[in-house]
């Protein structure tokens, strides 16, 4: 659909060309910026990833209707608080037990321990904001991915937030926040060939997923000052796709990058990560 058609439907001003094949829509909640030929877009300067690149024909920008519905529309509401429901959050420190997650480039320090520390710091901050908080693990024990989903189900959680740290061979840096790819859309991150037209249980939460992801991602960037790798989409993450509530997975920096590994090793940085998530849920 023409980007201007979406803007009109959303009650927003028409897109304005702000560069060569770069278009901006000024919404009351902030500016969307989309560029021809790329799936990377931004809202208030914060990156998110489209399923399909913006197409420009005869100077007119076109966006896929799925991107309009599933990516842009929830972002017009980011300044609204996350709905509280019963007020229950399940925090999911990644890995545990013999599953160490990624090993730090600095030595024998592991993602599983940093993720648990992040969750333990975050819990009281959320409780102070009126949430009841359940951790999928509060020790170095293994928890199967399916069990993590069952815990959220048993607690009738309103939100599910999985906490991880990232790894890469090349020098990637910064924060990423994932939620489930909407049906029909290609993912940002794949682990092998993928069927795009599949509808997972968590796809019933597409709006809430993107809304929660951007609120948390924005707050984390503000609190930590880390590089922005954007809100991203993945379909392979078992802890997300079967959730019956908005669910996100945060990668709180790269422990394969020396500078970020040093940050992640510091309690001050992990406290900032905790504060970043908590502030998004006020």
Residues of the shown chain interacting with Zn ion in the complex, contacts defined by CB under 5 A: 94, 101, 164
CB of 167 to Zn ion, least distance (A): 8
In the bound state with Zn ion, the residue whose beta carbon lies nearer, of 74 and 94, is 94
In the bound state with Zn ion, the residue whose beta carbon lies nearer, of 101 and 174, is 101
In the bound state with Zn ion, the residue whose beta carbon lies nearer, of 100 and 271, is 100
In the bound state with Zn ion, the residue whose beta carbon lies nearer, of 211 and 270, is 270
CB of 100 to Zn ion, least distance (A): 10
CB of 282 to Zn ion, least distance (A): 27
172 close to 258: Cβ distance less than 8 angstroms: no
CB of 94 to Zn ion, least distance (A): 4
CB of 164 to Zn ion, least distance (A): 3
For residues 155 and 143, what is the distance between their CA atoms, to the nearest angstrom?
Answer: 16
Shortest Cβ contact with Zn ion: which residue?
164
In the bound state with Zn ion, the residue whose beta carbon lies nearer, of 54 and 237, is 237
């Amino acid at each position: 659909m023409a980007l201007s058609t979406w803007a009109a439907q959303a009650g927003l001003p028409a897109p304005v060309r702000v560069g060569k094949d770069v278009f901006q829509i000024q919404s009351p909640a902030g500016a969307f910026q989309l560029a021809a030929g790329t799936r990377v877009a931004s809202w208030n300067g914060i990156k998110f990833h489209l399923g399909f690149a913006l197409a420009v024909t005869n100077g007119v920008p076109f966006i896929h209707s799925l991107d309009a519905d599933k990516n842009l529309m929830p972002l017009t509401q980011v300044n609204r608080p996350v709905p509280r429901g019963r007020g229950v959050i399940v925090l999911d420190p990644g890995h545990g037990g013999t599953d160490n997650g990624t090993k730090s480039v600095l030595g024998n320090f592991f993602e599983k321990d940093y993720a648990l520390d992040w969750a333990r710091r975050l819990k009281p901050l959320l409780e102070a904001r009126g949430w009841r908080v359940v951790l999928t693990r509060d020790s170095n024990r293994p928890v199967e991915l399916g069990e993590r989903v069952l815990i959220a189900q048993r607690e009738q959680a309103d939100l599910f937030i999985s906490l991880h740290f990232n790894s890469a061979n090349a020098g990637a840096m910064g924060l990423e926040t994932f939620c489930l790819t909407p049906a029909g859309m290609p993912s940002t991150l794949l682990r092998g060939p993928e069927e795009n037209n599949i509808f997972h249980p968590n796809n019933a939460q597409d709006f809430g997923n993107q809304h929660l992801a951007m609120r948390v991602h924005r707050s984390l960037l503000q609190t930590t000052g880390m590089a922005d790798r954007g809100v991203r989409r993945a379909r392979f993450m078992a802890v997300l796709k079967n959730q019956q509530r908005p669910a996100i997975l945060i990668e709180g920096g790269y422990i394969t990058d020396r500078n970020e590994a040093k940050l992640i090793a510091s309690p001050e940085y992990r406290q900032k990560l905790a504060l970043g998530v908590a502030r998004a849920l006020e």
